[in-house]
Structure 1
Amino acid sequence: MFKLFTKGFWDVIARLILRNKIGILASIIIATILFSTQWKNMRFTYTEANLLPDDHDVNQVYNNFLDIFGEEGNLIVFGVKDSTLFTVEKLNAWNKLSETFKTFNEVETVVSIKDLQKLVKDTDNERFLLEPFIKDSITSMSQIDTLEQELFKQYPFYDNFLYNKETKTVRTAVYLKKDIVNTAARKDFVFDLLVPEIDAFEAKTGIDVRVSGMPYIRTLNAQNIVDEIGEFIAAALFVTSLIFFLFFRSFRATLISLVVVCLGVMWTFGIIGFLNYEITVLTALIPPLIIVIGIPNCIFLINKYQQEVKLHGNKVKSLQRVITKIGNATLMTNVTTASGFATFILTESQLLKEFGLVASLSILAIFILCLLIIPIIYTFLPYPKDRHLEHLNKRWIGGFVDWMERMVKQRRITIYISALLLLIASMIGINQIKISGSLIEDMSKEAQFFKDIRFFESEFNGIMPMEILVDTKRKKGVMKLSTLKRMNELEDLINEIPELSKPISVVSLVKYSKQAYYNGNPKYYQLPTSQENSFIMSYAKNSSAESNLLENFVDSTGQYARITTFMKDIGTDKMERIEEDLQAKINKLFPKEQYDITITGKALVFQKGTKYLIKNLVISLSLAILLISIFMAYMFRSFRMIVVSLIPNLLPLVITAGLMGYLGVPIKPSTILVFSIAFGISVDDTIHFLAKYRQELQSNHWKIRKSVYGALRETGVSMFYTSIVLFFGFSVFTISSFGGTVALGALVSATLLFAMLSNLLLLPSLLLSLERNIANKEVLKEPAINIIPDENDSDTNEINSSTEKNT
């Protein structure tokens, strides 16, 4: 009954499309215009990708820290490692550069060498005063010599923050206003103010300036994403249209396909704007993805049209069959592909939800556009010329099909052994896969800002902020000597960890206070004793200078303190070990009834988010397999057929995972998408093959071997065409400057190539080897959905006459 309904449904669809050509084309144009009005709502993200749900414990800890101390990712640094800096002219120019940034509205504060101040003892008033190292401009080399002596030998408080005393590298810290850090104003500041000023300084002095800091990195990284969207779309259009033309040898067919996929891209941007989503590193992939997925739809439809025209020469009859036969099949395959993406909607990551929703809606949209536009346009066009149909008789395609058939007939054992060996080798490779939680790993290694990151890692041990929040659970508990001593011991451990920079906290300030109390003698840069603490603290209480410095490290109530350190770009394993070491020390030093200590910061949040996404990968892939299995069960009414069909689609995923292990490609936010995307696409070939196989069984009176070979010959060419398009289409992502995008493109391409071979060799081999168990009328019951309808042209004459009238 459902089969009759499905057949009748597609007959009605064909009739509606071919009878209402002008109205449908006008509706598509209107819909495209409406979508284009939503483009204004598109915006590029100005925040890091938060991979965790808002209510996740790690996010709550981080947000609690931000509530107490404010945005911690507002620091931009620029530094110089050049001995000629310490000359009168160039040092004054450096100080002038730093002073210039203080005049900009976007800047909260600037800390440079000229801003450094000595904490000095005022004995008469029993207080500390701040006295600048440089009172005015530098006028002589003797002043520079004195400055170097004080900075690099006498005052360790500033060491590793604004300078490295070992290499004499100097840097300036620019703190942006916290309310612009995650807005478009940050981009304007970086490109319109920061970069031109630094370029002018470099041109004037000949000194190479390195720039870094999370706002700067994020701005340039986001700009790279914007620049690459256009490159991806252009590359995808060029590659897929070139392959399409090489297959069909028809400018007309190629142009039609380009029009369809370009409309699909316009609709995708409209969907992003309508949903008010930001363009992230993931959603930026969807427009070229739609081109890559849309072209195979065009191949199936145009190829079927040309086959039908060559068979009987009736154009309208051919278009009716394209819609009723290929329309149904492409609907099923597009639904399964969309399902692979839609599983991301069920995860708790907002980033993946948005990607999954936009991608799945866009895939369904490109299917609708293909089904409507291609048959309608061909009703207005003349018959294809003989040269346009030559590709249907290409000898090399016949040779490829003969090779597949020969392998399945004569080399099934070889196919099974090869599959088993690949499986074993892949399982070994999977054990070597690592997880990466790096914030910068996917960034372009050739970009100057990435080289600057490495520079600051080398000179100052990193730029990725990590924070330790100390809650003393009582007001003014931070300044108690017992608390300071515990914090000092924790900082000693941080200093021993080579991947972390020297920590900055109230402990350093208290040590500096003791040094100032003893007239700047560097050997007294240490925590005061119990006896010293009382009179040193009395000086501090009378000092406004001390209070100004203190507010950066302690909250207004004195209950909370922060220990700030910076982390190198390290792997997840190392980061976890560091966190474990710190947590073990914290548990030992800080009694839980007196203190609540939490470790947070952007680097840690990202690393935890990556781990969380790994769990979501398993969930989304499992859901994709489950949904598609249910879908195929409903189509074929055979549990055994589901098992057989999953094997050739899961094997390529295992092989790809093994390759990742051998090639050292880690699991990270970009590469975890590979498996669900590839599975959703590769299963399309299986559906096409099994649908044709079942039809062959019925027409061949359940002669299994004849049916398998018939299905292989019928579907092999289309599967080869579409797989080649998909392979080269996804390969365009390898032109990206983002390592993760490159890995995504290469891995999906490889997976789809393996999937094609698996579906053309392993799947028919399994059907032949298990013929008694799965290829009988009891197992292969009447399908719920007849994907490839039987030949029936009862409505063709009606459509033909109606269409000719409209034409």
Structure 2
Amino acid sequence: MINKKSSILSLVITFAVILGMGSQLVHLRFNNDLDAFFPLDDPDLIYYKSFTEKFGHDNDYILVGLENNAGVFEQDFLLRSDSVLSDLEAIDGVKSVISLINLKKLVKSPMGYIELPYLHLTDPSQLTKDSLKITKEPHVQDQFLSSDHRSTKLIITHSKFKDKKLADAFVSQIDQTLANYPFDKVRLAGRPIGERAYVWAVQQDFTFFVIFSGLTILIMLIIFIRRPSMVIASLLVSVLSVVMTLSFMTIVGKEIDILSTLIPSILLVVSMSDIIHLYAHAQDEYSKGASMSDAINQAVKKVGFATLLTSITTAVGFITLISIRVQPIIDLGLYSAVGIMFAFGLTYLLFPQLMFLVEPRLKRKRSNPILKRFLDTLYHAVIQRQKLILALFAIASVLIGIGITKLEINAYLIDDLPKDDPVKEDFTYFDTQYGGSKPFTMTVWTPDSAELYSKEIITLIDSIATLAHQTLNANNLVSPASLVKSVYQMQHSGLAKNYKLPETDREWRQVFSTIQKGKIEERFFKVTSGNLARISGFSKDFGSKDGTDRAMAFKADLDQWLDKSVLDYRITGSTQLIEKSHETLSMNLMKGLFAAVIIVSIIAGYMFKSWRMILITLIPNLFPILAIAAVMGFFGIPINLGTSIIFAISFGIVVDDTIHFLSKMREERLAGRSMPYAIKRTIFATGEPIIVTTIILTSGFIIFCFSQFAATFNTGLFVSVSFIVALIADLTLLPVLILYFLPRRTLKKSDNT
């Protein structure tokens, strides 16, 4: 029973807890680790971690493209490039800078091995000859010269950064260094560059979403609640839900990443549902002549359990995201679920108490004539046009089935960035002008620990590298085979035509001896560790689907002729892990949605003690989920790690209105009313709150359509569409299903749960 003393006590305790938690918000941080999107507890991830212990991470590099419109082989440009290179090498954290500018090859001479530069920077007369020689060495030209010969590439390898600050500082130093020199265009690509671009966009989105979601909710509250004091109370509950959730995330050490920026907006919007239903019932009771305290108590009694169930089902929808074994998605699900339960708790700890203490001047509730006519028309359609409604939904189901068959899983590395984003343009530039910007990595090993540097093994490795280039879109490959070719070229006057594998057994022995005694790998590039070797390079971003298809074709081809008792292989690396996350997405999504369906079914079964009610509950709520999947299929929008969250968010939220509808209908049936009349009273009692919450939810999520990220845009658009489809299904299909499949016997109080 609500009273002044209990209300004040509840407010004081709640605000004290929030104040204590909110003090932690000063420690809130943003996270830029894209490696977090690797699949958790995966054998390939475990293998890659062991690989990094031997060879380091395959994505610890930055690509720099220096453009000169007059052409690369211009002395002034090359001298400036050389100066930049020296300055870049001096930056703390840089391990090496490899480019055509400082590239040299060892050549055997009568006086021993000597280093000869590919470019004679101080001798303009030599540059034309140098350019001709370079074009005869595709392995050098493709690596360091753009296809239009208007830019040259620098490869900066760097240390692994422990946190965002170090990475940002490193990239800033590179930016400052490059800014000191006049080039026609400077392009950058690589993991630190992509991460910084994402973090900047995340921070902008985070601020934008919080502000505009709040404004949108405020406008909706003013329209539908109208009383200023209750508008402020409603907004306060929502804002404090966000504060508690972000504080909780800070306390447990969770940083804001690309997906968790959605959490504040989601909570601001979703928390409104409980408030609207609670306020609508309190106003309804007040309109019947109850006092303010009695109206509040009756409202809490009538909708408290229903809103608890809707909060649980919404939280369940988010929790099912743990089935997608990617940490940022798991975190989005878990912390959203926590936030939803915070919002439910705050709704009942603050809103009724504020309403009681403020005692807003509520007007006796009047039916909106337009809405009343709409609901009356809707009711008669449900009663008189049942077959037509079922037929229309059946036709829609056929179209949905067709659309779903067109749905596919696919993703690009930086596809979420805007089309005109300079970072995205730079990544695309390296894909079109060079061999790509994504790292490509695979390993080979001798199962019996046999020596890698043997004629048989190196020949096999060279064949595998050739097949990888042809099939896997792998370019600029470095491997033990390429090292052998380089040494052989070195031993034969450095001529371009001699970049090949040795021909005679004597030549093989000479090459192997030079590699081992000259410690070539230590001086240049480590490609072996014991009986394990790596083949690494770059690949173009043609999408995860293309990568998966190519990998299957590569394995099918290679397994036909490779004797794995002699040499075995494995595709690994950060690119492969991301592609695998997308590859397993479909099954994980099905598992998550199946789990959500089971849990919601248990809740529906508990509420209504009827297996028919389980089906009646699920059909209108699965329909909007399948509908947005079909729309995505028709418009060619793929499922990926970004868009996968759409289905869990939608299912968790759309089921709320169904539960409110069924809860009210059961109340009417327990009161002894006939099925048609119970449905009529249910439509008129819940129709307005359901429509209002749908408008508020849609308005809140449509804000995401202003995001810089394609995945966030799609989330806002399709979740909003699912709300509208769910509204139509709840007010038309749901009552028709009830009339068709639910027994029409009069319920007794003993049937109440």
Q: Runs of 4+ in structure 1 displaced over 6 angstroms?
A: 778-781
> Could you tell me which of 698, 720, 724 is aligned with 2:691?
720
The one-character-per-residue Cα deviations of 1:644-671 (angstroms, maximum 9, x if unpaired) are 2211111111211111110111111122
Q: Which amino acid aligns with 2:153?
A: R
Cα RMSD, aligned residues only: 2.4
1:529-540 equivalences under 5 Å are 529=503, 530-540=505-515
Equivalent residue number for residue 184 of structure 1: 165
Native 8 Å contact 1:506 1:550 kept in 2: no
> Secondary structure of the residue that 2:185 maps to in structure 1?
coil
Native 8 Å contact 2:40 2:325 kept in 1: no
> Could you tell me which of 637, 646, 651 is aligned with 1:674?
646
Q: Using the alignment, how far apart are the partners of 2:224 and 2:266 within structure 1?
A: 21
1:215 to partner: Cα distance: 2.1
1:19 to partner: Cα distance: 3.3
Q: Using the alignment, how far apart are the partners of 2:748 and 2:433 within structure 1?
A: 69
1:619 to partner: Cα distance: 1.2
Q: Residues 72, 30 of structure 1: CA spacing in aligned structure 2 closer, same or farther, 3 A cutoff? A: same
Q: Which amino acid aligns with 1:335?
A: I
Q: Residues 781, 93 of structure 1: CA spacing in aligned structure 2 closer, same or farther, 3 A cutoff? A: farther
Native 8 Å contact 1:306 1:384 kept in 2: no
Native 8 Å contact 1:345 1:356 kept in 2: yes
Equivalent residue number for residue 66 of structure 1: 52
> Could you tell me which of 333, 339, 343 is aligned with 1:356?
333
1:345 to partner: Cα distance: 4.2
Q: Using the alignment, how far apart are the partners of 2:23 and 2:568 within structure 1?
A: 51
Q: Does 1:158 align with 2:130?
A: no
> Could you tell me which of 516, 524, 532 is aligned with 2:498?
524
Q: Residues 241, 231 of structure 1: CA spacing in aligned structure 2 closer, same or farther, 3 A cutoff? A: same
1:215-230 equivalences under 5 Å are 215-230=192-207
> Secondary structure of the residue that 1:421 maps to in structure 2?
helix
Equivalent residue number for residue 11 of structure 1: none
Equivalent residue number for residue 716 of structure 2: 745
Q: Using the alignment, how far apart are the partners of 1:639 and 1:779 within structure 2?
A: 18
Q: Using the alignment, how far apart are the partners of 1:576 and 1:269 within structure 2?
A: 37
Q: Does 1:198 align with 2:167?
A: no
> Secondary structure of the residue that 2:642 maps to in structure 1?
coil
Q: Which amino acid aligns with 2:555?
A: Q
Equivalent residue number for residue 754 of structure 1: 725
Native 8 Å contact 1:515 1:525 kept in 2: yes
Native 8 Å contact 1:50 1:609 kept in 2: no
The one-character-per-residue Cα deviations of 1:684-743 (angstroms, maximum 9, x if unpaired) are 1111111111121232x3411111111111110000000111112111111111111111
1:473 to partner: Cα distance: 3.9
Native 8 Å contact 1:75 1:176 kept in 2: yes
Q: Using the alignment, how far apart are the partners of 1:74 and 1:567 within structure 2?
A: 15
> Secondary structure of the residue that 2:106 maps to in structure 1?
strand
Native 8 Å contact 1:774 1:780 kept in 2: no
Q: Using the alignment, how far apart are the partners of 2:8 and 2:673 within structure 1?
A: 45
Q: Using the alignment, how far apart are the partners of 1:165 and 1:569 within structure 2?
A: 17
Q: Residues 142, 403 of structure 1: CA spacing in aligned structure 2 closer, same or farther, 3 A cutoff? A: farther
1:435 to partner: Cα distance: 0.6
1:591 to partner: Cα distance: 1.8
1:166 to partner: Cα distance: 5.4
The one-character-per-residue Cα deviations of 1:274-318 (angstroms, maximum 9, x if unpaired) are 222232322221111100101222222223333333332622222
The one-character-per-residue Cα deviations of 1:203-256 (angstroms, maximum 9, x if unpaired) are x34x11111012211222123222211111112111122122122333333222
Equivalent residue number for residue 421 of structure 1: 395
1:49 to partner: Cα distance: 4.8
Q: Residues 156, 646 of structure 1: CA spacing in aligned structure 2 closer, same or farther, 3 A cutoff? A: closer
Q: Using the alignment, how far apart are the partners of 2:718 and 2:750 within structure 1?
A: 37
Equivalent residue number for residue 541 of structure 2: 569
Equivalent residue number for residue 243 of structure 2: 266
Equivalent residue number for residue 19 of structure 2: 33
Q: Residues 398, 327 of structure 1: CA spacing in aligned structure 2 closer, same or farther, 3 A cutoff? A: same
Native 8 Å contact 1:438 1:606 kept in 2: no
Native 8 Å contact 1:511 1:528 kept in 2: yes
Equivalent residue number for residue 148 of structure 1: 131
Moved more, 27-36 or 426-435: 27-36
Q: Using the alignment, how far apart are the partners of 2:457 and 2:327 within structure 1?
A: 39
Equivalent residue number for residue 628 of structure 2: 656
Q: Does 1:118 align with 2:102?
A: no
Gap regions ≥5 residues in structure 1:
1-13, 785-807
> Could you tell me which of 114, 117, 130 is aligned with 2:115?
130
Native 8 Å contact 1:157 1:508 kept in 2: no
Equivalent residue number for residue 499 of structure 1: 473
Moved more, 404-413 or 349-358: 349-358
Q: Which amino acid aligns with 2:613?
A: M
Equivalent residue number for residue 92 of structure 1: 79
Native 8 Å contact 1:51 1:612 kept in 2: no
Q: Residues 443, 630 of structure 1: CA spacing in aligned structure 2 closer, same or farther, 3 A cutoff? A: same
Q: Using the alignment, how far apart are the partners of 1:83 and 1:589 within structure 2?
A: 47
Q: Residues 481, 717 of structure 1: CA spacing in aligned structure 2 closer, same or farther, 3 A cutoff? A: same
Q: Residues 416, 407 of structure 1: CA spacing in aligned structure 2 closer, same or farther, 3 A cutoff? A: same
> Secondary structure of the residue that 2:453 maps to in structure 1?
coil
> Could you tell me which of 716, 734, 747 is aligned with 1:763?
734
Percent identity between matched residues is 25
The one-character-per-residue Cα deviations of 1:552-609 (angstroms, maximum 9, x if unpaired) are 2223x3x222111322222333212211232234324532222221111212111111
Could you state the TM-score of these two structures normalised by the residue count of structure 2? Answer: 0.94
Q: Using the alignment, how far apart are the partners of 1:72 and 1:474 within structure 2?
A: 26
Could you state the TM-score of these two structures normalised by the residue count of structure 1? Answer: 0.88
Q: Does 1:704 align with 2:687?
A: no
